[in-house]
Amino acid sequence: MEDINITKKFIEVLFSPNLMEELRNEFLTEEEQEQECDIDVKTLQYEYYADSSSVNIDKIMSQLNKLKESGCSHVSIDFHCDHDEYELYGYSLERESEQERTARIELEEEKKRKKKEQEIANLEAKLNKLKNEK
């Protein structure tokens, strides 16, 4: 049986707000926020652990709904530890049409041909250099 291909078209990327700032806004009073108190999230149950920050479900649902409204059918979610935020990449996934398949295969073959031509040119240049060395 022949493979079924799916086309993945990037539509949009959204970034969650800085998660620590969101926790500060959600749980600290204005006075505590002004004093720049640190937040230390404690876990009472140690069976489950995620190596990323927690995010408010309503905020993520809002972001996901924005992606859906812009035409996304699927999403990839990455945690960006340097900025303490999530990156939500929205895509539209559809079954590949025969026309799209043909165009994709032609493009892949063209890329392979160009890569081979470049490799041949590089090898010919090296060969000429060796031939001309004294």
pLDDT of the residue at 50: 61
Distance CA 49, CA 52 (A): 9
Give the pLDDT confidence of 70-120 residue by residue, as tens digits: 999 988 888 877 777 888 899 888 888 889 889 989 999 999 999 999 999
85-95, strands of its sheet edge to edge: 6-15, 85-95, 74-80
Please give the helix or strand (H or E) that residue 51 lies within, else none. Answer: none
pLDDT of the residue at 95: 81
Calculate mean pLDDT across residues 11-30: 75
pLDDT of the residue at 58: 87
Give the pLDDT confidence of 28-76 residue by residue, as tens digits: 777 777 776 666 655 555 555 566 677 788 888 998 999 999 999 988 8
Q: Which residues contact 83 (CB under 8 A, 6 or more apart)?
A: 15, 18
pLDDT of the residue at 109: 96
Please say if the pLDDT value at position 9 is more than 70: yes
